[in-house]
Amino acid sequence: MLKHITWLLTFLWIGIGSVHAQNIPPAVPPITLEMQRVPLSAILTEIEKQAGIVFSYESALLDHLPLLSFSAKEEALSYCLKRLFANLPIVYKETGNYVILKSKPQVYTISGFIRDKESQECLLNASIYDLLSQKGSTSNNYGFFSITLPRGNVRLRTSYVGFKTKEFFLNLQSDTLLQLELTPLDALNEVVIEGNNIRSEVHNSRTSALELSSEALQSAPALFGEADVVRTFQQTPGVAIGTEGLTGMYVRGGNNDENLFLIDGNPVYHINHLVGLFSTFNPDAIKSATFYKGSFPARYGGRLSSIMDIRQKEGDMQAYHGNISIGLLAAKANIEGPIVKNRTSFNVSFRRTYLDAITSLAQAIYNKKHKDDQTMAGYSFYDLNAKISHKFSDISRLYLSFYTGQDRLRDMDKVLYESVNEDMRWRWGNMIGSANWTYVFNNKLFGNMILSYSRYRSKLRQEEKFYQFLNDASDDRQYTGYTKELFSSSIEDVGFRTDFDYMPRTNHLIKFGTEYIFHIYHPEVHKKTIEYLLDKMSSQRQDIHKKTQVLGHETAAYLEDEWKISTRWKANAGIRFSLFSTPDKVYTSLDPRVSLRYLIKKNLSVKAAYAKMTQYIHLLSNSYLTLPSDIWVPVTSRIPPMTSHQVTAGIYYNLSKLFAFSIEGYYKTMNHLIEYQDAVSIFPSFSRWDEKISVGEGRAYGMEVMTRKKSGNTTGWVSYTLSWADRIFPDGSVNNGKRFPAKYDNRHKFNITLNQKISKKVELCASWMYATGNRMSVAVGQYLTPNQHNQYPPHLSDEGGYEYNSNNDFPFYTEKTTDIIARNAVKLGAYHRLDLSLNVYRPKKKGRLGIWNISIYNAYCRMNPFSSGGVIYKKGNKYYMEQHGYVPIIPSVSYTYKF
């Protein structure tokens, strides 16, 4: 039997080989020729003779062609033809022994800018579409677009959210530069969270990206009368709530320092005011915000978890207008207009809290009644955003951007009957400036060059004066000395960046560029002066000065291609190379990024994405709050850069023209994460900080579901997140080397945000969220410091609580119980909250408008667990811990007057 099968297979092999050999065309001999300044027909005739083929074409096809010179030496026919017709208006097709020649279709490029007709501001991500050829494009961050279409009639449609759609015909006979202007709609504050058409989420190649318009931001629920862009994005899937009321961002298992915040392309290192109740981003100055958490474009880098790209308003080139707002704790103003009409514009926004004025009044009344107990405490912050736009010509513009913001805190206490008077002053803030020049090199190449400066600085000044009472019967006292300490920390960046958009064809958008940043770190500057009075005539003085400085050089280059492969397939592929140099070591990284979309039908698509991210800086913090005492430090020879690998896949569906549905799954690994070791002092000190740190790994995975309604009188979204996030430090210095959950490992999270236009003048917004509780570590013992040898160690009290003997002890963590296990083993209670906001619009004469905003934060006064009180008690065989909430219901009101 085996013999027969062998003979049969041999016979079939020989037969198939014979048939295949009969179908192979005879080999074409190589081409060799040398011809100078001859007609193309002469070259074709010679190739026909040598190759034994026939060129088929209309005689008129070769008319008006110049004389050609062409040479080939032992070249294959296909390669010879490719070179011959590369620069000729002719396309060819090989069919057997025939080569068919046809005229190459003539195409021309339409390029230009899409702008607001009234203010002349550029419109980001506006769409332009040819209804005849069904080809389209979108504008970039500066309103520039480029679309290549066949010669002849075109029917262009230009659209942008909040503006009237514009259509027009054009007989395309050459490359054309257009300045397209769209008229704003009359409707008030349409809430849209994505800046493209209703099908853009289905049709583009991005995953895990959201856009927020300034109108949507202004309609969001407000805390203390202030809408906030960071808090709004906190309500989207994949973002942990963090700490009650604060603007921290914990995206897909990442830490707070793994988010990159950009203002007009410039990094912001500290984004919080009032311990995080406000962010530094004044909503009046924001034009748009884009939030990435998955398929990161190659042009972004430097953080692991998310990118928030915020663009400021440019200013109206036609007329002056603005607004003034007064809220519960802060007031703000915005004004914009032309410096030179149709040539130069400005936009300036200023915001300041008057909390210090309120507290100063109360303290003045108190100090007047208590002469022996004088206090002076107050807090304030301000933000100043400014932007100037100058048009040199239709293809050349200059943008000058500036931001500065500062927080001030003071606490002074002078008590006559005490031996010490204290005065503490703390200032921290950002300053950012940039000069940005854009230029259209040709109808397919757009360039952008940025020179920038960014600085974050924190300064703490403490002063104590010491006194000695002369006798027990008198309040008279004598000055004996003082100490004065100054702590400061800062980071400065000086950078230069180039970005280019190249559009060779309608289905290709290539972005490429370079970046260089010079980092100057001052993690710690400590000055201390001590003076003691020896007697009435002499004193002793001691000055201590400690200063650290670390320099870093960061360079990067990227290449990114948005490619519509076919009607169904679209891809965004890119690669980013980065280098970071410190005095100790040089690190490099190559980060590939790719995102694919497959269009199943016009309203349904599936996507998959992969991204590698690298981060070269760390934030050292001694608290789960983002405080100005936190310091930024670069990588060292011992601490390598953090990296992450993230894979995302999802399904995207649009139901009619109203609802958009998406479901995404992700898996993310993080390497070289840092964590303070067990039983060490975690006060952020630069000195030997990397010896207190352990390097480990993390992972995060989950699923995110979101349904959005983006048009009509009722808009908003409903989302659900199911996620896991954990850490492991194999060296055993953290949690004995065992895997433990991340602090914001919230298993379930629900968000419902609705905006209802009751009428043209009344708008109601409601937002409800629910999340399983955050996690925290609990100290169940302490190490005694050397000077405490005579004190008793901590022990379990009769009531089950742990008693501590000194505030100077360092906590450590044990596994003596199954309910309290080391790092983040204790889960706080569930978190849920309802926010309400009502906007009432009062139109006035001459186009002016008054807006009342009434907001209620935590409407049903849920006292969500903010932290643990540290008191552990025992019931039966289980241990429990007291939890405390500090943020009750907070009503607020604000009034905005637009002119």
Q: What is the DSSP string of 137-192?
A: EE--TTSEEEEEEESEEEEEEEE-TTB--EEEEEEE-S-EEEEEEEPBPSSS----
Residue 876 has pLDDT above 70, yes or no: no
CA distance 666 to 254: 13
pLDDT for the residue 244? 62
Q: Is the pTM of this model over 0.85?
A: no
DSSP per-residue string spanning 240-306:
E--STT----EETT--GGGEEEEETTEEES--EEGGGTEES--GGGEEEEEEESSS--TT--S-SSE
Q: How does strand 286-292 pair with strand 306-312?
A: antiparallel
pLDDT for the residue 824? 79
pLDDT for the residue 364? 76
Q: What is the pLDDT of residues 831-869, one digit of tens each?
A: 888 988 888 989 888 788 898 988 888 888 888 776 544
Q: What is the pLDDT of residues 730-780, one digit of tens each?
A: 988 888 888 989 888 889 999 998 888 888 889 888 889 898 888 877 655
pLDDT for the residue 874? 57
Question: Are 684 and 630 a contacting pair, CB within 8 Å?
Answer: yes
pLDDT for the residue 745? 87
pLDDT for the residue 879? 57
Q: Which fold has domain 321-765?
A: Maltoporin; Chain A (2.40.170)
Confidence of residue 471 (pLDDT cuts 50, 70, 90): low
pLDDT for the residue 87? 83
Residue 238 has pLDDT above 60, yes or no: yes
CA distance 195 to 183: 16
Mean per-residue pLDDT of the chain: 81
Total count of residues recorded for the chain: 899
Return the higher-pLDDT residue of 245 and 148.
Answer: 148
CA distance 620 to 603: 46
Confidence of residue 881 (pLDDT cuts 50, 70, 90): low
Name the percent of the chain lying above pLDDT 90: 28
Residue 243 has pLDDT above 80, yes or no: no
Q: Into which CATH architecture does domain 28-103 fall?
A: 3-Layer(bab) Sandwich (3.55)
Residue 99 phi, psi dihedral angles, 5° rounding: -120, 115
Name the percent of the chain lying above pLDDT 70: 83
Residue 278 has pLDDT above 90, yes or no: no
Instruction: Dig out the tokens for 196 from the structure.
Output: 């493209």
pLDDT for the residue 782? 45
Question: Are 97 and 54 a contacting pair, CB within 8 Å?
Answer: yes
Closest to 437 measured CA to CA, from 465, 393, 399: 399
Q: Of 48-52, 159-163, 609-613, give the range with the top mean pLDDT.
A: 609-613
For residues 647-651, average pLDDT: 94
Please state the domain extents for the chain.
28-103, 107-182, 321-765
Residue 236 has pLDDT above 80, yes or no: yes
pLDDT for the residue 499? 95
Lowest mean pLDDT among 530-539, 662-671, 847-856: 530-539
Confidence of residue 803 (pLDDT cuts 50, 70, 90): very low
Residue 218 has pLDDT above 80, yes or no: no
pLDDT for the residue 612? 96
Residue 224 has pLDDT above 80, yes or no: no
b/e burial code for range 295-311 (CB count within 10 A of at least 16 → b): bbbbbbbbbbbbbbbbb
Question: Are 177 and 443 a contacting pair, CB within 8 Å?
Answer: yes
How crowded is the C-beta side of 765, counted as CA atoms within 13 Å? 28
Confidence of residue 536 (pLDDT cuts 50, 70, 90): low
For residues 613-623, average pLDDT: 83
CATH number for 107-182 (one of 2.40.50.180, 1.20.1050.10, 2.60.40.1120, 3.40.50.300): it is 2.60.40.1120
Residue 807 has pLDDT above 50, yes or no: no
Judging by beta carbons within 10 Å of its beta carbon (0-12, 13-18, 19+), is residue 96 exposed, middle or buried?
Answer: exposed
CA distance 589 to 724: 27
For residues 382-390, average pLDDT: 94
Residue 810 has pLDDT above 50, yes or no: no
Q: What is the pLDDT of residues 320-374, one digit of tens each?
A: 989 999 888 888 999 999 999 989 999 999 999 887 777 777 777 777 777 667 7
For residues 703-715, average pLDDT: 87
pLDDT for the residue 298? 94
- Do 321-765 and 28-103 fall under one CATH topology? no
Give the count of beta carbons closer than 10 Å to the beta carbon of residue 245: 21
pLDDT for the residue 537? 64
Lowest mean pLDDT among 12-21, 396-405, 414-423, 611-620: 12-21
For residues 541-555, average pLDDT: 85
For residues 533-562, average pLDDT: 83
Return the higher-pLDDT residue of 508 and 796.
Answer: 508
Q: What is the pLDDT of residues 287-308, one digit of tens each?
A: 888 999 988 999 999 999 999 9
Lowest mean pLDDT among 389-393, 545-549, 553-557, 795-799: 795-799
Residue 256 phi, psi dihedral angles, 5° rounding: -70, -30
Instruction: Dig out the tokens for 796 from the structure.
Output: 């379990």
CA distance 98 to 76: 16
Residue 118 has pLDDT above 50, yes or no: yes
Which residues, including other chains, have CB under 8 Å from residue 826's CB and lie 6 or more apart? 775, 776, 777, 778, 820, 868, 881
Confidence of residue 462 (pLDDT cuts 50, 70, 90): confident
Cα angle value 12/13/17 (rounded, 5°): 115
**No. of H helices and E strands in the chain?**
7, 55
Which residues, including other chains, have CB under 8 Å from residue 515's CB and lie 6 or more apart? 495, 496, 497, 498, 554, 555, 556, 557
pLDDT for the residue 684? 55
Q: Rounded to 5, what percent of the chain is helix, strand, coil?
A: 10, 55, 35
List the alpha helices (DSSP H) in 328-411.
355-369
pLDDT for the residue 21? 41
Q: How does strand 569-581 pair with strand 550-563?
A: antiparallel
CA distance 378 to 364: 12
End-to-end C-alpha distance for the chain, whole angstroms: 97
Dihedral sign, Cα of residue 317, residue 320, residue 326, residue 329: positive
